[in-house]
Amino acid sequence: MASLRFVKSVWESFRATSGLEPRLLNNLRVTGARPGFVNFELDIQKEHTNRLNILHGGTIASMVDLGGSLAVASRGLFATGVSTDLNVTYLSSGGKIGDKILAEVTCDKFGKTLAYTSIKFLNSKGDIVARGSHTKFIALAWKDPQNIVEELKRDS
């Protein structure tokens, strides 16, 4: 439970201080978290779509970025580092306005300098529509006084 509460607090910090996330992903909901794993969902709205009225690839790329950050947060880092690499593979349409997209994120490796994350996106039927990976430089993030890494180690 501490992981979920912490990840939600990091998400709220993104929403309060970032320029992009509150505009594009404001209705994103974190639905689960434990050390190294995060789940979230997004109800697709007009601002998430392209001119074909389906989920825009840029929205998915932004969710890969945010999802990687939240996966790092699930390990206890409040400052989630900076991106060094981001990859997205689009497998099929992610949906249209009114649909829901679900995400499952994993922090695959969590070191002192780098964190590696992976994510898969599913439609409401459970079909994988996209997958991604995200590498974060986290060396400076270890210094944030709001970190709870040790607390989460005890809970896992």
Give the predicted TM-score (pTM) of the model. 0.95
Query: CATH top-level class for 1-146?
Result: alpha beta
pLDDT at 26: 94
pLDDT at 155: 64
**Three-state DSSP class for residue 154:** helix
Kindly state the tokens that stand for 132. 């991604």
**Three-state DSSP class for residue 108:** strand
pLDDT band of 156, cuts 50, 70, 90: low
Neighbours of 18 (CB within 10 A): 13
pLDDT at 125: 94
Q: Among the residues of the chain, which ranges form H helices?
A: 2-17, 21-24, 57-73, 149-155
Q: Closest Cα to residue 130, out of 153, 101, 99?
A: 101
pLDDT at 153: 79
Task: Give the chain's end-to-end CA distance (angstroms, integer).
Answer: 10
Question: Could you give phi then psi for residue 44, rounded to 5 degrees?
Answer: -75, 125
**pLDDT at 104 exceeding the cut of 90:** yes
pLDDT tens digits, one per residue of 48-99: 999 999 999 999 999 999 999 999 999 999 999 999 999 999 999 999 999 9
pLDDT tens digits, one per residue of 12-61: 999 999 999 999 999 999 999 999 999 999 999 999 999 999 999 999 99
Kindly state the tokens that stand for 112. 């002192």
Rounded to an integer, the average pLDDT of 141-149 is: 95
**pLDDT at 142 exceeding the cut of 90:** yes
Domain ranges of the chain: 1-146
